[in-house]
Amino acid sequence: MQNNHQILSHRLLAPGAAILQSQSPGSQTITLQDRAVEVFTDFRYARPFSIGSRATIDEVNDKMIACGVRLLFVADGDGVLQGLVTYTDIFGEKPVRYIQEHGGPRGEILAQDIMTPLAKLEALDLDDVRKASVGDIVETIKNAGRQHMLVSLTGDTGSQVVCGLFSSTQIEKQLGMKIELSDRAHTFADIHGAVSKAEA
């Protein structure tokens, strides 16, 4: 078989050559009028981290520190999503309430005891996100009273796939302003409406 491939030219690196440093999303300055995808953590390019439901609260905290994140997905051995656990879940009221209701030491609390289960997880639709502005996402996060908003799409098999998320912490850094979260979480109909207005 004939080989039509070519050998590319190559040369020694020059003295003082450096390694290109990627620009992290959190380092880019944005405005409320910019497209929402500018502050979107896309799981095609940013790896989502997960942990098992039987991991202890200390193991959850250790993995968050090791991965440099404040949210972990909780999944079974086959990677099926069971819920998610955040930094606030670890250091907020949930562990205290769990001990009050079930007793035992804090160190025995498991991820499944403080996570938000799959049945209570809501997500924005990727198609709506693509039409939205950063300001729409900020209003959505404020209205929801949450630090993270998941985004999903419909996979090839028709199943729902979590494809990314928005983080209030990351958006605050890029905007240079504080996002004041609502004291109460609203219904998903309200949340969806806040983003869908971008279609108008």
Q: What is the pLDDT of residues 25-65, one digit of tens each?
A: 555 788 999 999 999 999 999 989 999 999 999 999 999 99
**64 domain residue, yes or no:** yes
Mean pLDDT of 174-186: 76
The predicted-structure confidence for 62-113, as pLDDT tens digits, reads as follows 999 999 999 999 998 887 899 999 999 999 999 999 999 999 999 999 999 9
The answer as to whether 13 is a domain residue is no
- Average pLDDT of the chain is 86
Name the pTM for this structure: 0.75
194, part of any domain:
yes
Domain containing 44: what range? 28-199
What does the alpha-carbon distance between residue 105 and residue 189 come to, in Å, rounded to a whole number? 39
The answer to whether 131 and 199 are in contact (CB under 8 A) is yes
Residue 151 lies in a domain: yes
CATH number at residue 187: 3.10.580.10
End-to-end CA distance of the chain: 58
Look at residues 65, 195, 67, 69 and name the one whose alpha carbon lies nearest to residue 130: 195
- No. of helices (H) and no. of strands (E), the chain: 8, 8
Cα–Cα dist 200/197, whole Å: 5
Domain count, the chain: 1
DSSP β-ladder status, 71-75 and 50-51 = parallel
State which H helix or E strand residue 160 sits in. Answer: strand 160-167
Determine contact, residues 128/152, Cβ cutoff 8 Å: no
